[in-house]
Structure 1
Amino acid sequence: MTALLLRLAGPLQAWGVKSRFTVRATELAPTKSGVIGMLAAAVGRRRTDPIEDLLTLRFGVRKDQPGTVIRDFHTARTLDGRTSMPLSERYYLADAVFLAGIEGDRALLEGINEAVRNPAFPLYLGRRSCPPGQPMSLGLRKAPLLDALRNEPWLASDWFRRGHPEAFDAELLIDQEVSPEKERNKDVHGSRDVPITFDPRRRDYGFRDIERLMVPLGTPVSDHHDPMSELEEAGACS
């Protein structure tokens, strides 16, 4: 099996599932519809193009740095400035870092990997106002998606690591595998974030079952600094 890993990080992210009217909410982790839409943009698909091949991909995400929910009281006017648009509240995740992954056919993943590195259309983390940091693609892993997400090193910022004196347990959300031999995990919930079509004339989404796991990650970066260590190392090398 092959998995492609992605680092989803930036000043702001916004992953909506339940956004309606003047309240634009965000989920606490990247959604499958948001990431599939981003990958479709990377390979050059337009909103009316088919995405059936992308829907075969298994999706998972690990919360390496959960971030903080912030609210933006949003105002806007028409271009001529004469008319005020409806006021809205828009929610974002600030300073979040996620490890996302997709699993599927290797040839398809190789093409997506190249497209993410050289996207046909601009990429963003849920909304156009949320550009991603670089690098986004971490490359292919010859492993099942769950193993790849479990074994990848912790991606959190140094300041976040320093705030966790003990090992950090990251929440991992992954598409549940459907198998008659496998018992249903008790920690499973559903989400309506599987994009059937992005066509703005008939946008539609389906449901998926998401399994929740906890993954222990590495110890944080130490705050301790020994000013004599560099001199001792220099003396040992001389």
Structure 2
Amino acid sequence: MSTADRRVLLLRLAGPLQSWGDRSAFNRRETRPEPTKSGIVGLLAAASGLQREADIAILAGLRLGVRVDQAGSLLRDYHTVSDYRGQPLPQAAVSAKGVQKLTSPAKHTHITQRFYLQDAVFVAGVEGPADLITTLAEAVAGPAFPLALGRRSCVPTQPINLGTRDTNLERALSEEVWQVSDHARKRHARKGRPATVQLSATFEDPDGDDVAHDQPVSFDPLRRGFTSRRIRHDWLTVPSGFTHPDPQADAAGHDPFALLDW
């Protein structure tokens, strides 16, 4: 497929909380430091109105790139689970008929630790056939199901849909203006209002030197599966959105909050 037949959809992924897990171990549910491909494909599937049992091969075949505009910070949630009726909790495993047995010996409270990213902002780009990308852009603008940032409880802020670009993934993420909170933008303005900023990014690349185990195969609860994909890490020079650099910024005087990076 020629470059002219391909297009990129840019998504701004921001909200109070995000959680992009690629594994769960018993009572610990972690998050990756940036969105996973399974999470992005799940978001697009929800926007398109696909059921969990649907074939997601066409969405999983899209090429993904993620830019870190604001890394955020890690939040740990100490979480307890119990049955409000006072009954013992069921086991995690199910029988061949899909029925859960009660814990033995009986367990009435289950303690878990769940991790989230708070105040993070990412720009994700998906590259694929132009007609498919156009359809997905329309779906994100009017989603069939609620969209989430990894988990259902993580609600995104607007705007999500930054539109489509008739270019490749690397250029689209390099040219998109810095998507960051007003607080961070004001903080950065004290550094002289530079015209560009350096941001880290991860691109799906068959020749990449790293591996991510987040390529979805199926979201069907009865045959949920994932595989690996190759990725590479890079740095991008991105327009900051400041149109008038301030050469006098460093001469403004002592900032008592500078060491706190406020």
Query: Shared fold (TM-score greater than 0.5)?
Result: yes
* Map of 1:147 onto structure 2: 171
Deviations 1:53-102 (A, max 9, x none): 11221001100001101100012222435554411000000000000010
Distance 2:197 2:171 in 1: 18
Distance 1:55 1:82 in 2: 41
Alpha carbons of structure 1 residues 111 and 81: separation in structure 2 relative to 1, 3 Å: farther
1:89-104 map, 5 Å: 89-104=113-128
Which of 200, 205, 208 is equivalent to 1:171? 200
Please identify, of 81-90 and 7-16, the stretch whose mean Cα deviation from structure 2 is larger: 81-90
One-letter code of the match for 1:147? R
Contact 1:161 1:220 in 2 (8 A): no
* Map of 2:226 onto structure 1: 205
1:98-137 map, 5 Å: 98-137=122-161
One-letter code of the match for 1:174? F
1:117 Cα deviation (Å)?
1.1
Percentage of pairs with the same residue: 43
1:1-238 map, 5 Å: 1-80=6-85, 84-164=108-188, 165=191, 168-176=197-205, 178=206, 184=207, 188-219=209-240
Distance 1:50 1:6 in 2: 23
Alpha carbons of structure 1 residues 79 and 107: separation in structure 2 relative to 1, 3 Å: farther
Contact 2:80 2:110 in 1 (8 A): yes
1:161 Cα deviation (Å)?
2.7
One-letter code of the match for 1:34? G
One-letter code of the match for 1:73? Y
Distance 1:89 1:46 in 2: 29
Contact 1:19 1:26 in 2 (8 A): no
Which protein has the bigger strand share?
Answer: 2
1:200 Cα deviation (Å)?
1.1
What secondary structure, in the 3-state scheme, does the structure 1 residue paired with 2:67 have?
Answer: strand
One-letter code of the match for 1:205? F
Contact 2:178 2:241 in 1 (8 A): no
Contact 1:58 1:104 in 2 (8 A): yes
Contact 2:9 2:137 in 1 (8 A): yes
1:122 Cα deviation (Å)?
1.0
Deviations 1:13-35 (A, max 9, x none): 00001222110100000000000
Distance 1:159 1:137 in 2: 22
1:124 Cα deviation (Å)?
0.5
What secondary structure, in the 3-state scheme, does the structure 2 residue paired with 1:88 have?
Answer: strand
Distance 1:124 1:80 in 2: 30
Please identify, of 94-103 and 73-82, the stretch whose mean Cα deviation from structure 2 is larger: 73-82
One-letter code of the match for 2:60? L
Distance 1:26 1:118 in 2: 27
Contact 2:177 2:241 in 1 (8 A): no
1:216 Cα deviation (Å)?
2.6
* Map of 2:259 onto structure 1: none
Please list every run of 5 or more consecutive structure 2 residues that lacks an aligned counterpart in the other structure: 1-5, 89-107, 250-262
**Would you say how many aligned residue pairs link Structure 1 and Structure 2?**
217
RMSD of aligned C-alpha atoms?
2.1
Distance 1:205 1:216 in 2: 32
